[in-house]
Amino acid sequence: MAAGLAAPLVVAVGGGLVSAFFYLSVMFGGFGTLILGYLAPLPLFLAGLWLGTPAVLFAGLAGTVAVMAGTSGSWLVSLAYLMTGALPAVLVVRQSLLARVSGDGSLEWYPPGRVLMGLTGLGVVAVLAAVILTFDQPGGLEGVVRRMLARVAEPLFRAQGQSAPGPEEIWMAAALPGLVAISWVIMTIVNGALAQGALMRFGRNKRPPMRLAELELPRWLVPAFLAALLGASVLPDTFGFLAVNVALILAVPFAFAGLSVVHVTARSRSARTPIIVGFYMVLFLFGWPILLLVGLGMIEQWIGLRRRFTRAAPGQEDE
C-alpha cells in the first residue's frame, strides 16, 4: 500500500516543482520564459486531472514551497503563486471531478458552465478585494493603477526624448484590473484544457472532455452584466471604476458561449475545420471579433441559437 501511495505522491510533488520552475523562469527574462510562466499551472492540472484532488493539493503546496525557496523566502511572490496558480487549479480540479449517478445509471459530471462561472466569480472577488484594500489610497485602486503605470511609462518615454503622460492621461488604467483578471481566467482555462487533452491522448483522464457545445450559463448572468454596464455609465469615481471592471470580467462567459455557437454552427458545414481555424486566426490577429462573441453569447442566452442549429443538423457529433 505504501508503494502504491508513493508513486502518486512523487508525481504530485514533481508536478509542483515543475510548476514552480515555470513560474520562476519569468525572472530570467525573454519571450520563451514568458510562455513558461503562462504554463505554470499546467503541471498542477496534469497531476490533478490524472490523480485527483489530493494530488493537485500536494502539487500546489510543493510548488508554493519551491517558489518560496527560489525567491529566498519571499512571502509576496509565494502568495502570488498560491493565489493565481495553485488555488485556482485546486478549485477547478475539485469541481471538474465531481460526478453523480443519474437515473439511467450513467455518471453526470459537473457542468462546464459552472466551472467557468466559478473562475469568473473568483476574478470578480479579486477585483473587489483590491478595491477594498486600496480604498484609503488617493483615487482608490484606479489611482494606484494610474500612478503605477505612470512610473512604468516615464523611463520609456524619456528614452525616446518625449514627455511622459501624467497618471490621468493613461486611459487603460480604468480597465486594467479587469483585463488582468480576464487574462488570468483565460490562462487557467487554457492550462486546464491542455492538461485534459494531453491526458485523454494517453488514456489517463478521469472525466470526459468538457465540450463547448455543452456550455450552459445561468439566467441571472445577463441582468448582472447589464447592471454592471449601467453602473459603469452612471456611477461616479470608485463605484463606476468597479462597475467597468466587473462588466469586463462578466463578459468572459458570454465570449465562451459565443464560441460554442461558432463551433455548433461550423459543425453543420462540410468545411467545419477550415471555418473554425479561420475564425480563430481572425480572432487572434484582430481582436475585435471578441465583441461579436460576447454578443452571440448574449443572444444564445435569450433565444438558444445552438438548439436551433442542432435541430437543423441532427446526427452530428458534439464539438
Give the residue-averaged pLDDT of 185-195.
95
Q: Which of 82-96, 138-152, 268-282, 289-303 has the highest mean predicted lDDT (pLDDT)?
A: 82-96
Number of residues assigned to the chain:
319
Q: Would you say 216 and 253 are in contact if contact means Cβ atoms under 8 Å apart?
A: no
Alpha carbons 199 and 182: distance in angstroms, whole number:
26
Work out the pLDDT band at 318, boundaries 50, 70, 90: very low
More confident residue, 159 or 12: 12
Work out the pLDDT band at 314, boundaries 50, 70, 90: very low
**pLDDT of residue 121 exceeding 90:** yes
Work out the pLDDT band at 1, boundaries 50, 70, 90: very low
Residue of 193, 185, 207, 209 lying closest to 85 (CA atoms): 185
Q: Which of 50-54, 133-137, 310-314 has the highest mean predicted lDDT (pLDDT)?
A: 50-54
**pLDDT of residue 96 exceeding 60:** yes
State residue 32's pLDDT score: 72
- List, for residues 154-187, the tens digit of each pLDDT value: 777 677 766 666 666 677 788 899 999 999 999 9
More confident residue, 123 or 28: 123
Q: Please report, for residues 76, 97, 188, 256, the alpha-carbon distance to residue 185 in angstroms, rounded to integers and kept in the order given.
A: 21, 19, 5, 12
Give the residue-averaged pLDDT of 102-118.
88
More confident residue, 261 or 271: 261
Alpha carbons 235 and 121: distance in angstroms, whole number:
22
> For the ranges 23-37, 90-104, 253-267, which has the lowest average pLDDT?
23-37
Q: Would you say 176 and 71 are in contact if contact means Cβ atoms under 8 Å apart?
A: no
> For the ranges 39-43, 85-89, 210-214, 257-261, which has the lowest average pLDDT?
210-214
Amino acid at 260: S
Q: What are phi and psi of 74, to 5 degrees?
A: -75, 110
Give the residue-averaged pLDDT of 230-244.
91
**pLDDT of residue 52 exceeding 50:** yes
State residue 315's pLDDT score: 46
Mean pLDDT across the chain, nearest whole number? Answer: 86
> For the ranges 5-14, 88-97, 222-231, which has the lowest average pLDDT?
5-14
Q: Would you say 58 and 12 are in contact if contact means Cβ atoms under 8 Å apart?
A: yes
Task: Give the whole-number percent of the chain exceeding pLDDT 70.
Answer: 90
Please report how many Cα atoms fall inside a 13 Å half-sphere around the Cα of residue 154, on the Cβ side.
8
Give the residue-averaged pLDDT of 92-97.
95
State residue 188's pLDDT score: 95
Residue of 271, 275, 250, 274 lying closest to 262 (CA atoms): 275
State residue 155's pLDDT score: 76
State residue 169's pLDDT score: 66
Work out the pLDDT band at 45, boundaries 50, 70, 90: very high
Residue of 21, 125, 28 lying closest to 66 (CA atoms): 21
State residue 166's pLDDT score: 66
